[in-house]
């Protein structure tokens, strides 16, 4: 088992990564001493992994609540239903929420924990690759608004993250590939040697080889934990973690959150960020082709012509990184290094949008 920690003073917490952790009673007792719990999950994940987690939680007062499965349910109605379940179970401030599932469950359950009775504890138990490397770590919680993704939310750090690699065995291949987009993101923004390792290990990752997955989750979490520890509330450096996301969110918003997986949209966004960086004279064309090749080997999409540049720009205007009317973008001075920039040529942005998203 890999034991990392995210250093946030009194809000520090462990990230445990390994196989077969869900049913480890001693581990769960240490991570989560609360006796009264609400496990929030969905029917898909519950069928596969809830029994193991309930064994791990042992003899406590545990209620469970299932939310509907899908990004389109990451909304205020789903949040309200969690509050109803918390009230029905008569849970108070000494209770905790356990989020068992992918990023949707983690984000909405984490947000419920952030505001129920002004904040209760929660444990993230991510079961998708994307959630293990990204959404479960760092305390961003929230729901979508029809005007854009994650527009309503709060920073609320969990008391721990339990990433059980074994749960990834049941993940549909398309979801695994989408999670790989976020893993590739870390290599691009912070660690070119990790990018090289990914290029050499892609087949092992796609075959769900445990050791390869464990290392990919560990390295991704190390990079994320380091960045979040320096900038918990995204005043600066943390925005780097959004490499590819401004473009990706525009694709998701324009397509109504159901056709595209988040990681798939991020995949196109990563390539767009690389291409715009090349247009600005930072990356070389060979770097852009290297990024494209890796995404394509992972069978991830590299364009979204149905979106349209004009519509994408409308959604980008709602991005949380807009400052003084200009969208700040995460760009790549070189592979393995990222920078936040609002100092880019609008024409080059438009050309990039048109190249990947159509007119
Ligand atoms: P998801 O939560 O929708 O899960 C994907 C699908 O896999 C769902 O159908 C789910 O039921 C199923 N599933 C989950 N675990 C499974 C398993 N082990 N076996 C079989 N099926 C399983 O999607 P996701 O990709 O995990 O997360 C995407 C969400 O995360 C988006 O809402 C995105 O905005 C959010 N996100 C948040 C952050 C953050 O910092 N909070 C970061 C990145 C992404
Ligand atoms: N997923 C980006 C962040 O957590 O900041």
- The reply to whether 49 belongs to the active site is no
262 tagged catalytic: yes
- Residue 239 alpha carbon, nearest atom of ligand 2: 5
Q: Is the CB of 140 under 6 A from ligand 2?
A: yes
Give the residue, 93 or 319, on which the prediction is more confident. 93
- The answer to whether residue 3 scores a pLDDT higher than 70 is yes
pLDDT score for 336: 98
More confident residue, 318 or 301: 301
List Cβ neighbours of 128 (8 Å cut-off, separation of 6 or more). 101, 102, 103, 168, 171, 175, 179
Q: Which of 49, 149, 238, 320 is catalytic?
A: 238
To the nearest whole percent, how much of the chain has pLDDT over 70?
98
To test ligand 2's pocket by mutation, which of 241, 244, 262, 321 has the most ligand atoms within 8 angstroms of CB? 241
**pLDDT at 320 exceeding the cut of 70:** no
Reported for 14-18, long-range contacts at CB under 8 A and 24+ positions apart, including other chains, are: 14/160, 14/161, 15/137, 15/160, 15/161, 15/163, 15/221, 15/225, 16/160, 16/161, 16/162, 16/163, 17/132, 17/163, 17/165, 17/214, 17/217, 17/218, 17/221, 18/163, 18/164, 18/165, 18/214
pTM of the entire predicted model: 0.96
Determine whether the shortest distance from the Cβ of 238 to ligand 2 is under 6 A.
yes
Q: What average pLDDT does the segment 34-55 reach?
A: 98
The number of the ligand nearest the C-alpha atom of 153 reads: 1
pLDDT at 319: 65
pLDDT at 318 over 90: no
pLDDT band at 100 (very low <50, low <70, confident <90, very high): very high
The widest CA-to-CA distance across the chain, in whole angstroms, is: 61
CA of 290 to the centre of ligand 2 (A): 24
Would you state the pLDDT for residue 143?
A: 97
Tell me the pLDDT tens digit for each residue of 331-348: 999 999 999 998 889 999
* pLDDT tier at 321, thresholds 50, 70, 90: low
Q: What is the rounded CA–CA span in Å between residue 275 and residue 290?
A: 11
Relative to the CA of 227, which ligand 2 atom is closest? 5
Which of the following is catalytic: 177, 245, 279, 311? Answer: 245
Q: Can 242 be counted among the known catalytic residues?
A: yes
The answer to whether residue 118 is catalytic is: yes
Report the pLDDT value the prediction gives residue 145, as an integer from 0 to 100.
Answer: 87
pLDDT surpassing 70 at residue 67 = yes
Confidence of residue 40 (pLDDT cuts 50, 70, 90): very high
150 or 206, higher pLDDT: 206
């Amino acid at each position: 088992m890999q034991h990392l920690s995210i250093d946030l003073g009194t809000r520090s917490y462990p990230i445990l990564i390994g196989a077969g952790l869900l049913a480890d009673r001693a581990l769960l007792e240490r991570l989560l001493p609360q006796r009264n719990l609400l496990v929030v999950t969905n029917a898909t994940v519950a069928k596969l992994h809830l029994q193991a987690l309930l064994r791990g939680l042992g003899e406590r007062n545990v209620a469970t609540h299932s939310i509907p499965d899908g990004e389109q349910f990451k909304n205020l109605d789903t949040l309200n239903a969690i509050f109803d379940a918390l009230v029905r179970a008569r849970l108070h401030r000494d209770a905790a929420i356990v989020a068992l599932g992918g990023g949707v469950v983690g984000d909405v359950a984490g947000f419920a924990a952030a505001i129920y009775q002004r904040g209760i504890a929660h444990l993230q138990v991510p079961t998708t690759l994307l959630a293990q490397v990204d959404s479960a770590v760092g305390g961003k919680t929230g729901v979508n608004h029809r005007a854009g993704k994650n527009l309503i939310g709060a920073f609320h750090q969990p008391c721990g993250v339990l990433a059980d690699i074994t749960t990834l065995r049941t993940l549909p291949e398309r979801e695994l590939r989408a999670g790989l987009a976020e893993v590739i993101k870390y290599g691009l923004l912070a660690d070119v040697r990790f990018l090289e390792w990914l290029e050499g290990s892609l087949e092992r990752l796609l075959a769900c080889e445990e050791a390869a997955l464990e290392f990919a989750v560990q390295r991704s979490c190390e990079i994320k934990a380091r960045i979040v520890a320096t900038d918990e509330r995204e005043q600066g450096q943390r925005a780097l973690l959004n490499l590819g996301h401004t473009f990706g969110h525009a694709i998701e918003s324009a397509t109504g959150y159901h056709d595209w997986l988040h990681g798939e949209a991020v995949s196109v966004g990563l390539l767009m960020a690389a291409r715009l960086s090349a247009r600005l004279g930072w990356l070389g064309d060979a770097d852009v082709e290297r990024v494209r090749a890796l995404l394509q080997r992972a069978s991830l999409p590299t364009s979204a012509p149905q979106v349209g540049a004009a519509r994408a720009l409308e959604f980008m205007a709602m991005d949380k990184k807009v400052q003084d009317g200009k969208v700040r973008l995460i760009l790549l001075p070189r592979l393995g290094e990222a920078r936040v920039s609002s100092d880019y040529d609008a024409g080059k942005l438009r050309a990039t949008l048109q190249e990947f998203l159509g007119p």
